[in-house]
Amino acid sequence: MVQKHPERKVVFENTSGIPVKRVYTPLDEDAEDYLKTSGFPGEFPFTRGVQPTMYRGRYWTMRQYAGFATAEESNRRYRFLLEQGQTGLSVAFDLPTQIGYDSDHEMAIGEVGKVGVAIDSLEDMETLFAGIPLDRVSTSMTINAPAAVLLAMYIAVGEKQGVASSDLRGTIQNDILKEYSSRGTYIFPPKPSMRIITDIFSFCAGEVPQWNTISISGYHIREAGSTAVQEVAFTLANGIAYVDAALKAGLDVDTFGPRLSFFFNAHLDFLEEVAKYRAARRLWATIMRDRFNAKNPRSMMIRFHTQTAGCTLTAQQPKNNIVRVAFQAMAAVLGGTQSLHTNSMDEALCLPSEEAVRIALRTQQLIAYETGVADTADPLGGSYYLESLTDEIYDRALAYIQKIDEMGGAVAAVEKGYIQREIQESAYRYQKDIEKGARVVVGVNRFQVEEPEPANLLRVDPVVRDDQAKRLASLRVRRERERVSGALEALRRAAQSDANVMPPILEAVKAYATLGEICDVLRGVFGEYEPITTIGR
């Protein structure tokens, strides 16, 4: 039979290089181990989900990542998304903001307002959230190196709206380790960066208890080219490094553990992705219980946000991206995500237009309200193939983590360039597969068509930078100069000592010290990170 109808390929394997068998049977899983490896939703090891009822209780948060140009313009986009039924905000900051430069800094030329909103001071943040009650939305902020400053600004805006910091809900990404390996928006070297992060953990435990103090992110590791297994492994290895740092800083694992959140990618290999989330949940639960002696089950749960894979979107035949995103979003939902961003079809060309972002949001709403997949927890659980794949990803990710442990942990592995090289090699292999035709990308290496020039792409007016610079100049005249310099001096002293940097940052923010001024004080004390290069000479 097989000779008459040969299979399409000699070897079938998924993106992590795991061989895929023709068929899976009960023999591929150890049924006796069911309670140990799978169990029930809401119970250790959380393979099947972190809530017993999952989406029967509440859908995932539909949270579109957005922000561009000025605070006014981004505020309009947020209100639009909330009117369209989005249930949480997700703020994209421009690169100068992410790297701690004010909009009038020389390094900011050409970048202001381009990939996100430009935020220079509390004043911009007040504009960004004008008319959006912070006690009624949860806000995720993609901010890492200067996360402490943006969180302080958010707390200060809340205070101005009459919302206590204890009522604020949201997430700061605050995951610096993946910046060194994958995303590049670092400022300080690893050691002081880790200290700022543990200062945030400790400050929030008392002052902002509902806040997710970190979102340990595999998303960018995957976008940089890793496989699914590497995404799980490197993300959890980074997680281990944060827990280690917090324990060394004297914090209790069950105090900060429940506030750790995660962020994963949803790539195209559908079942591999579903298995990836399940494997990650089981692995983290095991690590927190057995390695760190966590007692609170909430410390053991991976609660995660998912974003569909920007790197899989094609500039060719962009409408095909709607379908790619729908499959990826479905994988995230079947994998039990708590929050989801669906990419817009035009993202391989420019920032999303309003129509594109609406279709992306509708994709999530379709999955939630029309497909029925949200009506039972972990609906694919028990599939012979899925369970076998979950085990396989778990084992392979664990092997990586053990290797990173032997190197001295994630910080050492980044400093040695190991993680960067592993990711780079996978990225190159993936590209070669596409070029050889071993991996089909519809519209790119198969099924191409002649296409017209795309129209109506969103562009950010370069005048944004001049406007921001003018606003900054005016702010610098209006604010109380002595209060600003006093606050910055207090921050310098805190940074030089063991004191928590969050209270003086909050004070500096309230005095309308700018993001650049605050980061300059910290640069002065901590220095800047010198990256290592893993290609060329």
Q: To the nearest whole angstrom, how small is the minimum distance from the Cβ of residue 445 to other proteins?
A: 8
Site for other proteins in 118-137 (CB under 8 A): none
- Site track 151-180 with other proteins (rule: CB under 8 A), x = hit: ----------------------------x-
Out of 17, 79, 85, 109, which residue is the one contacting other proteins (CB under 8 A)?
A: 109
Out of 375, 395, 435, 461, which residue is the one contacting other proteins (CB under 8 A)?
A: 435
The answer to the question of residue 537 lying near other proteins (CB under 8 A) is yes
Q: To the nearest whole angstrom, how small is the minimum distance from the Cβ of residue 184 to other proteins?
A: 2
Edge-to-edge strand list for the sheet holding 339-341: 61-62, 339-341, 304-308, 260-266, 214-217
Phi, psi of 321 (to 5 degrees): -65, -25
The answer to the question of residue 104 lying near other proteins (CB under 8 A) is no
Site for other proteins in 315-344 (CB under 8 A): 315-316
For 420, the token pair is 């960067």
Segment contacting other proteins by CB under 8 A, of 52-60, 98-106, 406-414, 490-498: 98-106
Q: Could you tell me which of 304, 300, 346 has the C-alpha nearest to residue 325?
A: 346
Q: What is the C-alpha to C-alpha distance for residues 343 and 438, in angstroms, rounded to an integer?
A: 26
Out of 54, 147, 196, 224, which residue is the one contacting other proteins (CB under 8 A)?
A: 224
**Packing angle between helix 384-407 and helix 418-436, nearest 10 degrees?**
140
Torsion of CA 40, 46, 47, 52, to 10 degrees: 40
How many residues bind to other proteins according to rule CB under 8 A?
48
* Tokens 């380790």 belong to residue: 177
The answer to the question of residue 516 lying near other proteins (CB under 8 A) is no
- HEC per residue, 305-358: EEEECHHHCCCCCCCHHHHHHHHHHHHHHHCCCCEEECCCCCCCCCECCHHHHH
Out of 255, 424, 492, 503, which residue is the one contacting other proteins (CB under 8 A)?
A: 424
The answer to the question of residue 352 lying near other proteins (CB under 8 A) is no
Q: To the nearest whole angstrom, how small is the minimum distance from the Cβ of residue 253 to other proteins?
A: 31
For 115, the token pair is 């990939």
The residues with which 141 forms a beta bridge, in sequence order, are 91, 172
Sign, CA dihedral 161-162-165-168, equals negative
Q: What is the C-alpha to C-alpha distance for residues 339 and 137, in angstroms, rounded to an integer?
A: 13
Nearer to other proteins, 132 or 444 (CB): 444
Q: Is the peptide bond before 454 cis (omega within 30 degrees of 0)?
A: no
Q: To the nearest whole angstrom, how small is the minimum distance from the Cβ of residue 34 to other proteins?
A: 39
Nearer to other proteins, 43 or 73 (CB): 73
The answer to the question of residue 278 lying near other proteins (CB under 8 A) is no
Phi, psi of 187 (to 5 degrees): -125, -60
The answer to the question of residue 274 lying near other proteins (CB under 8 A) is no
Out of 163, 205, 247, 311, which residue is the one contacting other proteins (CB under 8 A)?
A: 311
Out of 82, 115, 130, 499, which residue is the one contacting other proteins (CB under 8 A)?
A: 115
Could you tell me which residues come within 8 angstroms of residue 225 by beta carbon, excluding any fewer than 6 positions away? 311, 423, 424, 426, 427, 428, 430
Q: To the nearest whole angstrom, how small is the minimum distance from the Cβ of residue 362 to other proteins?
A: 24
The answer to the question of residue 469 lying near other proteins (CB under 8 A) is no
Q: To the nearest whole angstrom, how small is the minimum distance from the Cβ of residue 348 to other proteins?
A: 5
By the 8 A CB rule, do 183 and 228 touch?
A: no
Which positions touch other proteins (CB under 8 A)? 95-96, 98-99, 101, 107-111, 114-115, 179, 183-185, 223-225, 311, 314-316, 348-351, 424, 427-428, 431, 434-435, 441, 444-445, 453-454, 457, 459-460, 462, 531, 533-537
